[in-house]
Amino acid sequence: MQWRNSKDRYGHLAILLHWIIAITLYGMFGLGLWMVTLGYYDSWYHKAPELHKSIGILLLLAMIIRVVWRWISPPPPALSSWSHFTRISAAVAHILLYLLIFAIIFTGYLISTADGKPVSVFGWFEVPATFSDAGAQADLAGEIHLWLAWSIVLLSVAHALAALKHHFINKDGTLRRMMGKPSPDHGVK
């Protein structure tokens, strides 16, 4: 096991976090869209938002670990075959994805705590409410939350298509090094 990132691949911790967080985000997107359609008498009416909020807070912890780890163990550098456009667009997309994920968690927190109630994480611990304005806060945060959710999904799909293009068309090591396989830069077109 190589936990740390190195110059020719992402390490296992960054890879684990990348894929767990990606799957969780798509799951949260589906769960969010579904749960707002539930009627009051549905047995999931309370359970689904509890699950959505609990997973959301755990995702925040995973994201904090991910950013701190990125700082302790920097990611591999750009492949020499990447164009100037690829380097800039990848860097911008990655920064945007990080910002959008933190923002969606924050707006979710604002929706949930608008009435002054804390967020309980599976009953294990609670995140207290800080800003609570039962007025427009939940509606506004809810609207932004939905926009952020679509932005993350669309941007991450573009990001995934770019990764697949590198793998199948350029045939370089971009995707391989996010799969735990070393991808030495030499020999790459």
- Nearest-CA neighbor of 54 among 152, 127, 117? 127
Min. distance of Cβ 98 from ligand HEM in angstroms?
Answer: 5
Min. distance of Cβ 90 from ligand HEM in angstroms?
Answer: 5
CB 80 within 8 A of CB 188: yes
- DSSP codes joined into one string, 68-101: HHHHHSPPPPPPTTS-HHHHHHHHHHHHHHHHHH
163 forms part of the interface with ligand HEM (CB under 6 A): yes
CA–CA separation, 87 vs 71, rounded Å?
19
Amino acid identity at 20 = I
Contact window for ligand HEM (CB under 6 A) among 40-48, 51-59, 128-136: 51-59
Min. distance of Cβ 179 from ligand HEM in angstroms?
Answer: 8
Can you name the residues that pair with 121 across neighbouring β-strands? Answer: 125
Q: By CB under 6 A, what part of segment 115-144 binds ligand HEM?
A: 119, 142
| Binding positions for ligand HEM, rule: CB under 6 A | 18, 22, 25, 28-29, 32-33, 36, 49, 52-53, 56-57, 59, 70, 75, 90, 94, 97-98, 104-105, 108-109, 111-112, 119, 142, 145-146, 149, 156, 159-160, 163-164, 174-175, 177-178
